[in-house]
Amino acid sequence: MDAYEDLQQATLHDIPRSECLQLLGVARVGRIVFADDEGPVALPVNFRMDGESVLFRVSPASEMCLRLNEAKVSFQVDRLDDFHQTGWSVLVRGTSSYVESEDLPVLRSTRPLPWARGFRPVYVRVQPTQISGRRLVDD
Amino acid sequence: MDAYEDLQQATLHDIPRSECLQLLGVARVGRIVFADDEGPVALPVNFRMDGESVLFRVSPASEMCLRLNEAKVSFQVDRLDDFHQTGWSVLVRGTSSYVESEDLPVLRSTRPLPWARGFRPVYVRVQPTQISGRRLVDD
C-alpha cells in the first residue's frame, strides 16, 4: 500500500437510470463498443438520443458497419476531469441494428449529423437492455 | 441527404504510432474495453503508460477483474470537443494480464494511483498488438 494512498478523496456513486438518460440527452459524442474477430473495440461517434435508444450514423464501407447489424454492443459516454480526478460515466448495453428510413425521428434536426466529412447514410440504433452510470464524487 | 450536410468541415486523419504513444503518455484516464457474457463493454479507468503498455489498477472483487486475465481487450483514449466538433482518439488493441509485483515500474510515482477510494491492489497490463489513432481536423 502506497503511503499517499490516503490522498484519495473521491467515492463512486451509482447514477439513477433517469439521470443517466438526462446525461445521454445532452451529450453529443460517445463511444460505440463492439466486437470484431480480434476482440472488443470502442470508437467515438457523435450521436443523438431517440427516446431511450442511441442513434448514430456510419459509413457502409466501414468494418464497424458490418459488425453492428443485430449485434450485442454497448454505448459509453463520460465526462472526466483529469485535474480534479472526478467525473461521471454512463453505459448503455443493448443490441445494435440498422434503422429503416421510416423509423427515423420525423424531425430532421433531431437526427445525428456526423462531424466528419464523408458518406455516412447508414443509421444505427442501440436499443438498450440496461442503462447504468457512476459518478466519482470528491467528498 | 440533408441540405446542411455541406456544413461538415472536418476530415479524419490517421495519427502515426509515435504520436499515439505521445498522446497516451500524457493522458491519465481512458477506457478499458473488454467482454463479459453479455457482450462488449467499456469502463473508464485512470492509467499510466509503462513503456508501450498500459497499466491500471482494479479491485479483485470486481466483475471486470475477473475478465481481464489473459483476455483480448482494447484501451481507448480520446479528447473530443463538442463545440468545435473536432478531437482525436487512440485505440490500443492487445492482451490484458495481471502484473506481478516484480514486473511493476520501480519508481512508485510512475505507477497508476486510482482516483476512487477503495481497495484496488490488482495491477493490470495491456500489452499492445496494435496502436492506432485518428484526428478529426477542421480544415
pLDDT tens by residue, A13-26: 999 999 999 999 99
A128 and A8 Cβ atoms separated by less than 8 Å: no
Give dist(CA B28, CA B120) in Å, integer.
17
B41 bridge partner residues: B34
A2-6, A28-32, A36-40: which range is least confident on average? A2-6
Q: Residue B107's pLDDT is what?
A: 92
Q: Residue A81's pLDDT is what?
A: 87
Length of chain B, in residues? 139
Q: Residue B37's pLDDT is what?
A: 94
- In this structure, which CATH number among 2.40.50.140, 2.30.110.10, 2.60.120.10, 3.90.1150.10 belongs to the domain A9-132? 2.30.110.10
User: pLDDT-based confidence at B1, cuts 50/70/90?
Assistant: very low
User: pLDDT-based confidence at A1, cuts 50/70/90?
Assistant: very low
A134 and A15 Cβ atoms separated by less than 8 Å: yes
| CB contact (8 A) between residue B117 and residue A39 | no
| CB contact (8 A) between residue B118 and residue A91 | no
Q: Is B136 on the interface with A (CB under 8 A)?
A: yes
For A:30-49, CB contacts with B below 8 A are 31, 33-35, 38-44, 46
Indicate the fold that domain B9-138 takes in CATH: Pnp Oxidase; Chain A (2.30.110)
User: pLDDT-based confidence at B138, cuts 50/70/90?
Assistant: confident
Give me B41's grid cell. 463493454
B72 bridge partner residues: B95
Domain segments of chain B: what residues? 9-138
Q: In degrees to the nearest 10, what's the CA dihedral of A56, B17, B96, A94?
A: 0
Which of B115, B122, B131, B132 would best serve as a mutation to test chain A binding (most A beta carbons within 10 A)? Answer: B115
What percent of chain B is predicted at pLDDT more than 90? 78
Q: Residue A6's pLDDT is what?
A: 52
A52-56, B2-6, B55-59, B107-111: which range is least confident on average? B2-6
Q: Give the side-chain half-sphere CA count within 13 A for B52.
A: 15
Give dist(CA A102, CA A79) in Å, integer.
33
A55 bridge partner residues: A48, A125
Cα of B44 vs its chain's centroid, Å: 8
Reported ipTM: 0.92
Q: Residue B8's pLDDT is what?
A: 65
Residues 6+ apart with CB under 8 A from A79: A27, A87, A88, A89
Residues 6+ apart with CB under 8 A from B26: none
Strands (E) across A2-139 are located at: 10-15, 29-36, 39-50, 53-58, 71-81, 86-98, 122-138
Residue B68 has pLDDT above 80, yes or no: yes
Cα of A109 vs its chain's centroid, Å: 20
Which of B12, B48, B74 would best serve as a mutation to test chain A binding (most A beta carbons within 10 A)? Answer: B74
A76 and A23 Cβ atoms separated by less than 8 Å: no
Query: How far does A74 lie from chain B, in Å, by closest CA?
Result: 6
Give dist(CA B12, CA B8) in Å, integer.
12
Q: Residue A65's pLDDT is what?
A: 95
Q: Residue B7's pLDDT is what?
A: 60
